[in-house]
Structure 1
């Protein structure tokens, strides 16, 4: 059977529109948090940084129905990492179904090239397609009636961030997976990634803002869930951002809809506080104080 640990699966910006999170579609609550002493990471991430080791090949006990499906080779990322997957598994994704149907690939070798994808992210997408989840798995704690991420004693826990070539820096892994799921048309994977992101903690302010920018650049304006998650997170952690100076630099740089949405969300938050403080409280007798 499949191992619960992370593996590769083989055999081996949209145009900004002037829309905002209005009161009718305001931001929701999120469980994400990060340490209050988290500051700005001033170290430039180099291409030689340590990356999680992954195997280029492994023996996988695939479901029996996959045995009659053709194998598709996928060349992923700048390093041209090789993946392989069954054609009928890939076809679950509308993106890959269209590629396979339209023969937008090498018909002789059934090869698909994904030069802009990060290998670690695509590995997680394939893991989801085969197993319905990706490492670390999302577990339900029945005693607490809450969700948590699985932990393995031999591993100190999976890294919450990954190096991404497009930004030359760290991004939240679950955010990148969410955006990949958006691209590949995997709505359930989006829900899983969003829930997992809400369980991460200890993330630096600079990484949060970089990930928020990435989310805005790689999701349509109609998909507000991931964006709302970041707005709520920044509002709750506003004291940290005020101290770090990261927010000030980001706002000077601008260039995204993020900060206008954040301004609207903050206004809504202040309005809610004002409304709550001015509303008369009604005692049990039914008469106002």
Structure 2
């Protein structure tokens, strides 16, 4: 989970006073896990602290399948990947099979995707995980995120700026929803496990991320939604003092809050039964 309820400051809207808004998540696409083609970017096209990375030539030469160019985001950032790698995604397999790309340039357009998120998706397709990787602690028999060098701390940020909400979202939640679109079940499992290890996330970011999760997953996919319901219930001492939570519930417009009411009712019923 994000953090235990006893660690929360009830007088603050943030779970941790150490959480900083100054650095945003940068591209987590490692140098040997995929290709990002660079093009000129204006000063307002990227948030402070982000970085662009590219794949080494050795990795490109190790695969002889056709190179597909992917045009990502409103700024049309260019990525490249091998066709046989992309075909492991049902979304891209369908796109390639049905000609949803420019046959001359072999391009696929993803105008609504965030480049940072697609970078992590592409890294997963090549390496089976995305930065920071999930590692198993044998001594504790638990999973944790790998330690990151100081120079990579920006890339390891837990939140990402998303244009659709004009604010920060939990990066693993956005990756989970991207995995849902692209038909990558294993990536969904990894993203779900990783966001359960995050801490120091502001109330406003959690609520915005929960709304995003509800808007970008089908009703049949309950795991991510259940994660947020459980998180809010465990952290109720903080959320009941949150002006953001009050405003969100007042505005409504989401299945989230009815589900939360049901979950809280079930929680009270369980306590009553135990008594």
User: What's the TM-score once normalised by structure 1's chain length?
Assistant: 0.80
Q: CA deviation at 1:62?
A: 3.0
Q: Distance in 1 between matches of 2:85 and 2:196?
A: 28
Q: Higher relative contact order by CA 8 Å / sep ≥ 6: 1 or 2?
A: 1
**Deviation sequence 1:252-282 (CA, Å, 0-9, x none):** 11101000000000000001111111xxxxx
When residues 48 and 114 of structure 1 are mapped into structure 2, their CA distance, relative to the original with a 3 A threshold, is: closer
After TM superposition, the structure 1 = structure 2 runs for residues 103-252 of structure 1, keeping only pairs within 5 Å, are: 103-154=99-150, 155-156=152-153, 158-252=156-250
Q: Distance in 1 between matches of 2:92 and 2:8?
A: 42
Partner of 1:75: 71
Matched residue SS, 1:68: coil
Partner of 1:59: 56
Matched residue SS, 2:241: helix
| Kept after mapping to 1: 8 A contact 2:71/2:78 | yes
Ranges in structure 2 where 5+ consecutive residues have no aligned partner: 25-43
Q: Distance in 1 between matches of 2:90 and 2:3?
A: 33
Matched residue SS, 1:67: coil
Q: CA deviation at 1:79?
A: 1.4
Q: Distance in 1 between matches of 2:57 and 2:187?
A: 22
Q: CA deviation at 1:60?
A: 4.9
Matched residue SS, 1:223: coil
Q: Distance in 2 between matches of 1:84 and 1:161?
A: 25
Q: Distance in 2 between matches of 1:205 and 1:192?
A: 23
| Kept after mapping to 1: 8 A contact 2:2/2:201 | no
**Deviation sequence 1:164-197 (CA, Å, 0-9, x none):** 0000000000000000000000000000000000
Matched residue SS, 2:213: helix
**Deviation sequence 1:198-218 (CA, Å, 0-9, x none):** 000000000000000000000
Q: CA deviation at 1:51?
A: 4.1
More displaced stretch, 244-253 vs 46-55: 46-55
Q: CA deviation at 1:36?
A: 1.6
Partner of 1:99: 95
Structure number with greater Rg is: 1
Partner of 1:32: 2
**Deviation sequence 1:135-179 (CA, Å, 0-9, x none):** 000000000100000112333371000000000000000000000
Matched residue SS, 1:147: strand
1:262 aligns with 2:234: no
Q: Distance in 1 between matches of 2:198 and 2:76?
A: 30
Q: Distance in 1 between matches of 2:141 and 2:119?
A: 30
Structure 1 segments (4+ residues) deviating >4 Å: 45-48
Matched residue SS, 1:62: helix
Partner of 2:39: none
Q: Distance in 2 between matches of 1:189 and 1:48?
A: 26
